[in-house]
């Protein structure tokens, strides 16, 4: 009934409670390069605009507190007090919220003074709040924790041997068996940087899950969404036919398999050759770049040196030579007919 249709004396109807807003707190104060934030601006399936503006059916209303979106606001000043949302969450005034972590978490206990990285300041002390302290404060109150990019997932570049920060991923910091107060495990979407649609699709699924409209995300042993990371790069690579025929590129610019130039695709879980990078275009080996295993725990140390034929993980050369030659000859006969 509209106001115009109301009879005098009609009691006004109580407003229906709006659906609670799901807040998304994006903590990009870890050790990282903001690559995941940049990647998200390129997502199309779905786009971040569709998520933020509620352009998808059944999506809960969300409020995104993300430095890339609130570009007018520094952590402590600007058009609104951006960091106040973090303090609200810390005081228990924000529920539900999803905590997104970008960048690896340094070990702030491994030195006698200073800090490795932080995000905003504590109004009580005027001192920076370190990234690990935000995790200590907010993870117990979050509905879900999403670690985006290989740095936040597994430590990444900053966890390389010789780095003094003691950097680690969120599961190493909170514990691999950690669950939120709502029973949701840490979700990791790795990549250096993450593939844009892998990230936006996982955010979307998680928001549906938080709203009770989707089942729990099925995660693999490295806490990655299984539907995105269950196949290897090699299984989706445009060049796999050449591998099968024992034909290998000796230099860049060749359409043949890149394994002898250092491609790790056979043992790496990643859907990028299938999915492409933006709108289906691109995808590391498909466009001439070796797979350097950037979605994997242990990256990069475990997969170095790059640009060299990976040791192990390949079909033994004599077996491949025999089977590859046979396949190539049979294909040539078939094509010729
Ligand atoms: S380029 Fe890499 S992923 Fe592609 S077929 Fe060769 S080894 Fe496999
Ligand atoms: S194909 Fe390899 S290098 Fe490329 S995004 Fe996937 S894991 Fe990273």
Least confident of 13-17, 21-25, 250-254, 320-324: 13-17
| Residues 203, 144 contacting (CB under 8 angstroms) | no
Question: How many alpha carbons lie under 13 Å from residue 8 in its C-beta half-sphere?
Answer: 0
| Residues 167, 9 contacting (CB under 8 angstroms) | no
Q: Is 324 in the pocket of ligand 1 (CB under 6 A)?
A: no
CATH T-level fold of 233-336: Cytochrome-c3 Hydrogenase; Chain A, domain 2 (4.10.480)
283 C-alpha vs ligand 2 centroid, how far in Å?
A: 8
Q: Is 292 in the pocket of ligand 1 (CB under 6 A)?
A: no
Percent above pLDDT 90 for the chain: 75
Arithmetic mean of pLDDT over the chain? 89
Q: Which CATH number fits domain 22-228: 3.40.50.700, 3.40.47.10, 1.10.1740.10, 3.40.50.300?
A: 3.40.50.700
Whether 22-228 shares its CATH topology with 233-336 is answered no
| Domain boundaries along the sequence of the chain | 22-228, 233-336
Residue ranges of the alpha helices (H) in the chain?
Answer: 35-40, 48-52, 84-90, 131-138, 149-154, 170-174, 196-210, 226-229, 233-236, 240-244, 272-275, 317-336
Task: Give yes or no for residue 16 having a pLDDT over 60.
Answer: no
pLDDT value at residue 316: 65
pLDDT value at residue 312: 58
Q: Is 239 in the pocket of ligand 1 (CB under 6 A)?
A: yes
Q: CA distances (Å), 332 to each of 182, 240, 254, 329, in order?
A: 58, 17, 20, 5
pLDDT value at residue 285: 96
User: Residue range 138-163: average pLDDT?
Assistant: 98
- Could you tell me the pLDDT band of residue 310, with boundaries at 50, 70 and 90? confident
pLDDT in tens, 191-201: 999 999 999 99
Give, using CA atoms, the residue closest to atom 7 of ligand 1.
259
Least confident of 45-54, 72-81, 142-151: 72-81
**Distant-in-sequence, close-in-space partners of 266: CB < 8 Å, separation ≥ 6:** 232, 233, 234, 259, 310, 313, 314
Give, using CA atoms, the residue closest to atom 5 of ligand 1.
240
Query: Whose atoms come closest to the Cα of 237: which ligand?
Result: 1
- Could you tell me the pLDDT band of residue 7, with boundaries at 50, 70 and 90? low
- Distance from C-alpha of 39 to C-alpha of 21, rounded to nearest angstrom: 25
Our mutation pick for probing the ligand 1 site, out of 246, 251, 291, counting the most ligand atoms within 8 A of Cβ, is 291
Binding residues for [4Fe-4S] cluster: 33, 151, 192, 234, 237, 257, 263
pLDDT in tens, 73-84: 555 554 467 888
pLDDT value at residue 309: 86
């Amino acid at each position: 009934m509209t106001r115009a249709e109301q009879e005098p004396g009609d009691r006004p109807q109580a407003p229906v409670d709006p659906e609670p807003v799901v807040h998304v707190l994006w903590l990009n104060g870890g050790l990282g390069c903001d690559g995941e934030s940049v990647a998200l601006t390129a997502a199309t399936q779905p786009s971040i605009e569709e998520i933020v503006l509620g352009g998808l059916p059944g999506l809960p209303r969300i409020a995104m507190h993300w430095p890339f979106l609130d570009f007018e606001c520094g952590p402590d000043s600007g058009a609104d007090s951006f960091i106040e949302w973090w303090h609200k969450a810390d005081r228990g005034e924000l529920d539900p919220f999803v905590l997104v972590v970008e960048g690896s978490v340094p070990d702030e206990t491994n030195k006698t003074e200073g800090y490795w990285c932080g995000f905003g300041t504590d109004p009580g002390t005027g001192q920076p709040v370190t990234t690990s302290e935000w995790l200590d404060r907010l993870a117990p109150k979050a509905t879900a924790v999403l670690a985006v990019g290989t740095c936040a997932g597994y430590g990444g570049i900053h966890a390389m041997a010789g780095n003094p920060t003691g950097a680690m991923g969120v599961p190493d910091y909170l514990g691999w068996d950690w669950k939120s107060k709502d029973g949701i495990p840490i979700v990791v979407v790795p990549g250096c940087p993450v593939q844009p649609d892998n990230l936006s699709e996982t955010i979307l699924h998680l928001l549906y899950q938080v709203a009770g409209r989707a089942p729990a995300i099925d995660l693999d042993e490295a806490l990655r969404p299984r539907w995105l990371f269950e196949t290897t790069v090699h299984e989706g690579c445009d060049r796999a036919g050449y591998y099968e025929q024992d034909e290998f590129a000796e230099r860049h610019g060749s359409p043949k398999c890149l394994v002898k130039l250092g491609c790790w695709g056979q043992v790496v879980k990643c859907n990028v050759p299938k999915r492409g990078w933006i709108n289906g275009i691109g995808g590391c080996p498909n466009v001439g770049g070796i797979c350097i295993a950037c979605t994997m725990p242990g990256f990069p140390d475990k997969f170095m040196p790059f640009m060299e034929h990976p040791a192990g993980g390949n079909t033994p050369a004599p077996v491949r030579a025999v089977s590859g030659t046979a396949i190539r000859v049979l294909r040539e006969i078939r094509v010729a007919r």
